[in-house]
């Protein structure tokens, strides 16, 4: 394979979906890998747009045939990235974004250590909880519009707490990533993401670097894990664990 793979992971509610969508809008020659999943479509999701929805039997056949560069089972459903998607994107001369969880990121890094990995963090547990509440309430309203039924408040709270617990577990894996991005506001976060993409491309370019590439390299360097440790420790403290790994 050729081309660059950008791995982006984040706990639910960190704003990863918004960031990746905007990154694709502003950066050329960047494709978003559509994952395969065995879960059912939600709301307005369409096959081939958000996911490729297939049966468990079909997914397990693809596993047996080694068709995935990564796959994982989450809450009873499979998710995976097909090798063929990456190969086709690279043939078109494009780089690829993988929006995957920490399990998938670890698998990709083992197979493709040159991939650039980015972990998106919320600015604090309090802000993450606020975002998760807004998201869960919006999902409940969508459910009501579609079915005329709402999830009871006690179940809503259980969903939020489960997502917060999952986020805490995922955040502890930040040390596996090359870059750390704290998503306080969308616009600055997009600027940093864009700089990371340009910097990784510049590192592979054989020609002389221009001023724009040098600026991107300098901005991306500040987002490298080694430069983000103080900020990360401050965020981890709001989750009630020390996060001493580096």
And the tokens for 55? 């049966």
- Round to whole Å and give the CA distance between 6 and 180: 13
pLDDT tier for residue 1 given thresholds of 50, 70 and 90: low
Pick from 68, 74, 70: which is nearest to 105 by CA? Answer: 70
pLDDT in tens, 25-65: 999 999 999 999 999 887 778 898 889 999 999 999 999 99
* Domains along the chain with CATH numbers: 5-32+95-237 (3.40.50.300)
Selected residue with higher pLDDT from 17 and 224: 224
pLDDT tier for residue 241 given thresholds of 50, 70 and 90: low
What average pLDDT does the segment 175-187 reach?
A: 95
pLDDT in tens, 126-142: 999 999 888 888 888 88
pTM above 0.75, yes or no: yes
Q: What percent of the chain has pLDDT over 70?
A: 97
């Amino acid at each position: 394979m050729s081309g660059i793979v950008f791995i982006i992971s984040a706990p639910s509610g960190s704003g990863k979906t918004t960031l990746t969508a905007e990154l694709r809008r502003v950066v050329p020659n960047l494709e978003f890998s559509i994952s395969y999943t065995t879960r059912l479509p939600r709301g307005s999701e369409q096959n081939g747009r958000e996911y490729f929805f297939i049966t468990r039997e079909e997914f397990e056949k693809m596993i047996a045939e080694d068709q995935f560069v990564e796959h994982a089972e989450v809450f009873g459903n499979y998710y995976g990235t097909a090798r063929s998607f990456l190969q086709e994107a690279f043939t078109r001369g494009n780089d690829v974004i993988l929006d995957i969880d920490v399990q998938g990121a670890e698998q990709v890094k083992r197979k493709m250590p040159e991939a650039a990995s980015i972990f998106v963090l919320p600015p604090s547990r309090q802000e993450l909880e606020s975002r998760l509440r807004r998201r869960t309430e919006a999902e409940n309203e969508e459910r009501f519009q579609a079915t005329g039924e709402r999830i009871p408040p006690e179940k809503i709270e259980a969903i939020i707490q489960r997502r917060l617990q999952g986020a805490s577990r995922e955040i502890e894996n930040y040390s596996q990533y090359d870059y750390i991005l704290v998503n306080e506001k969308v616009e600055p976060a997009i600027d940093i993401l864009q700089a990371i993409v340009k910097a990784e491309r510049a590192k592979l370019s054989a020609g002389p670097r221009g001023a724009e590439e040098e600026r991107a390299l300098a901005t991306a360097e500040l987002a490298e894990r080694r430069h983000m440790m103080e900020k990360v420790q401050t965020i981890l403290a709001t989750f009630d664990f020390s996060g001493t790994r580096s």
